[in-house]
């Protein structure tokens, strides 16, 4: 089946620094990827839609200057949390749609735990 | 607007007994419905989907779900639960116009031996 890889799986950073999380579709091309945030034992909150070769579309209430998204190729999207604060600590999950396959399934990465200290 | 409701935070069943996880949805167009499972500290694994066709959908690991348009429901079922089915289950919906998924709050399933 389709595989989506996220890296790193866990990262700890200091307040005020920036951290980048990568999302890769390993065996398919994805013109569209999605970034979610999940708090412990809660549902997924869509942050933004990442579009290859164009600007990301952010959901209401999500700061685009804080959560920078870049989708430079058909297999890679990155989320950069800038000037991180402890309240940014969360589980971030990406998902991707197989562009070539019209089966409508969205595949998810394994997630990345961010802890800001 | 689209939304999903999972009315039960937790479902507890004994191993070997039937398992049902409830989901109702609201969508303006034709619903595309999905079930995902999440194990602790992991991403989401796809279980099954309903797009069109037969209302009974069979998926991975022996799970199935029945699409009921009149009740706007898409309940997940497994005839005989296993301890390894203990996890967090999410129902999700999107309409046909884009690929944004709306998730339910999730239901924690605990299967006791």
Over residues A91-102, the pLDDT tens digits come to 999 999 887 765
Rounded to 5 degrees, what angle do the CA atoms B54, A109, A43 make? Answer: 70
A69 pLDDT above the threshold of 90: yes
pLDDT at B5: 95
Q: How close A100 comes to chain B (CA, Å)?
A: 14
Q: How close B97 comes to chain A (CA, Å)?
A: 11
Token pair listed for B63: 């799970």
pLDDT at A3: 87
Q: Which residues pair with B90 in a beta bridge?
A: B36
In 3D, which of A27, A18, A33 has the Cα closest to residue A77? A33
pLDDT at A43: 87
Considering only alpha carbons, which residue of chain A is nearest residue B108? A41
Considering only alpha carbons, which residue of chain A is nearest residue B60? A1
Confidence label for B106 from pLDDT (cuts 50, 70 and 90): very high
Confidence label for A1 from pLDDT (cuts 50, 70 and 90): low
**Buried-state track B69-101, b at ≥16 Cβ within 10 A, e below 16:** eeebbbbbbbeebeeebbbbbbbbbbeeeebbb
The DSSP secondary structure of A17-64, one letter per residue, reads: --EEEEEEESSS--SEEEEEEE-TTS-EEEEEEEETTS--EEPTT--T
pLDDT at A61: 94
Q: How close A64 comes to chain B (CA, Å)?
A: 18
CB of B8 within 8 Å of a chain A CB? The answer is: no
pLDDT at B14: 98
Largest CA distance in chain A: 43
| Of the partner residues A6, A106, A110, the one whose CB lies closest to the CB of residue B101 | A106
**Alpha-carbon distance A49 to A69, whole Å?**
9
């Amino acid at each position: 089946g389709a595989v989506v890889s996220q890296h790193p799986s866990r990262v700890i950073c200091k307040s005020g620094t920036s951290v980048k999380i990568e999302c890769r579709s390993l065996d398919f091309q994805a013109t569209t990827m999605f970034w979610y945030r999940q708090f412990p034992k809660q549902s997924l909150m869509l942050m933004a839609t990442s579009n290859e070769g164009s600007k990301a579309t952010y959901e209401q209430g999500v700061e685009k200057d804080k959560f920078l998204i870049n989708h430079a190729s058909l297999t890679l999207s990155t989320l950069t949390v800038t000037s991180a604060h402890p309240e940014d600590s969360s589980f971030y999950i990406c998902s991707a749609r197989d562009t070539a396959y019209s089966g409508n399934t969205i595949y998810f990465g394994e997630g990345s735990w961010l802890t800001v200290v | 607007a689209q939304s999903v409701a999972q009315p039960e935070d937790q479902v507890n069943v004994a191993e070997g007994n039937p398992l049902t996880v409830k989901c109702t949805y609201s969508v303006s167009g034709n619903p595309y419905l999905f079930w995902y499972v999440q194990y602790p500290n992991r991403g989401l694994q796809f279980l099954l989907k309903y797009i069109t066709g037969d209302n009974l959908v069979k998926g991975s690991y022996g799970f199935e779900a029945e699409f009921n348009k009149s009740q706007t429901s898409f309940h997940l079922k497994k005839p005989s639960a296993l301890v390894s089915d203990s996890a967090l289950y999410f129902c999700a919906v999107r309409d046909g116009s884009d690929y944004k998924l709306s998730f339910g709050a999730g239901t924690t399933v605990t299967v006791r031996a």
